[in-house]
């Protein structure tokens, strides 16, 4: 049952406002920024800044590479922000942890709405991953061992990347945290003010209605302190993934919210990071 049909607008907007579950959104966003800045400072000699993958101004990425010749596994992180906020500048907070495990870490950037429509953003991040597949060997990367993760809108973009190459999955594994996979409810909320989606377009850019085959194993997760709609989004998509016969696991994260959960990628002992590590080095 899609409960959003019977919700009033006020409740629906609250359910799709992740910050409604926390006291001050500035706190986790500040951590994204400060930890990412610290990672770039600490890894100055190992960070390739603003590597271009396309013509758009924000079609660039930061590539953090371990010392040595490789080939190293590669992990790509795609930030959230409802396709309208944040950037790669707040997205390298986990770089130190991945490099400590001899894994290349990439913070991928993309154009935000309203400067790009959602279908353009999806096309852009797919091109970003294709660029990485074609060029990462020059940075010591192993294109046969690439994994993806994304948070919130970034999880949606990870799902769309997996959908992008019908008949072939270019990556080894993916982790989708607190994502949105059925975008129809958003059409009825303030989130759509800058996206400008109609219902038909929302269905077209909803991973729930376009499960790829073949594909790679996926880790799903969300924090216990999230809205019911955000939890439902993951549950319905995971169920559809499993119904299609795909490998999908779920990592419960009690005590975490929509914003602080993804910082656990920088915690070597976090079950979320360990699950990604198991995809990379099974």
Instruction: Give the model's pLDDT for residue 1.
Output: 46
In the chain the domains, ranked by start, together with CATH numbers, are: 3-280 (3.40.50.1820)
Instruction: Give the model's pLDDT for residue 2.
Output: 59
- Distance (Å, whole) CA 107 – CA 71: 19
Instruction: Give the model's pLDDT for residue 213.
Output: 86
- Per-residue confidence in pLDDT tens, the chain, 282 aa: 456 666 788 899 999 999 888 989 889 999 999 999 999 999 999 999 999 999 999 999 999 999 998 899 999 999 999 999 999 999 999 999 999 999 999 999 999 999 999 999 999 999 999 999 999 999 999 999 999 999 999 999 999 999 976 677 889 999 999 999 999 999 999 999 999 999 999 999 999 999 998 899 999 999 999 999 999 999 999 999 999 999 999 999 999 999 999 999 999 999 999 999 999 996
Of the candidates 184, 176, 174, the one whose C-alpha atom is nearest the C-alpha of residue 205 is 184
Instruction: Give the model's pLDDT for residue 120.
Output: 98
* Residues 6 or more apart in contact with residue 62 via CB below 8 angstroms: 40, 47, 48, 49, 50, 51, 88, 91, 92, 106, 107
Q: What are phi and psi of 229, to 5 degrees?
A: -65, -40
Instruction: Give the model's pLDDT for residue 23.
Output: 86
User: Which contiguous run of DSSP H or E holds residue 130?
Assistant: helix 118-135
- Distance (Å, whole) CA 32 – CA 35: 6
């Amino acid at each position: 049952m899609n409960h959003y049909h019977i919700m009033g607008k006020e409740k629906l907007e609250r359910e799709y406002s992740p910050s409604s579950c926390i006291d001050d959104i500035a706190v986790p966003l500040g951590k994204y920024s400060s930890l990412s800045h610290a990672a770039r400072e600490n890894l100055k000699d190992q960070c390739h800044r603003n590597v271009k993958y396309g013509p758009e101004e924000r079609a660039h990425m930061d590539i953090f590479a371990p010392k040595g010749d490789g080939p190293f596994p590669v992990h790509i992180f795609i930030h959230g922000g409802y396709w309208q906020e944040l950037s790669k500048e707040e997205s390298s907070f986990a770089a130190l942890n991945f490099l400590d495990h001899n894994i290349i870490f990439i913070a991928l950037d993309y154009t935000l709405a309203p400067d790009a429509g959602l279908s353009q953003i999806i096309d852009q991040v797919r091109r970003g991953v294709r660029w990485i597949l074609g060029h990462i060997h020059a940075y010591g990367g192993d294109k046969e061992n690439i994994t993806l993760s994304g948070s919130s809108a970034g999880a949606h973009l990870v799902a769309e990347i997996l959908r992008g190459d019908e008949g072939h999955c270019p990556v080894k594994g993916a982790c989708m945290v607190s994502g949105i996979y059925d975008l129809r409810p958003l059409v009825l909320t303030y989130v759509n003010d800058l996206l400008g989606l109609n219902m038909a377009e929302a269905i077209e850019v909803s991973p729930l209605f376009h499960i790829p085959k073949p594909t790679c194993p996926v880790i799903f997760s969300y924090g216990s302190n999230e809205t019911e709609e955000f939890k439902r989004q993951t549950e319905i998509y995971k169920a559809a993934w499993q119904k299609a016969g795909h490998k999908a696991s779920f990592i419960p994260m009690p005590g975490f919210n929509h914003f602080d959960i993804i910082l656990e990628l920088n915690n070597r002992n976090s079950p979320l990071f360990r699950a990604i590590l198991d995809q990379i080095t099974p």
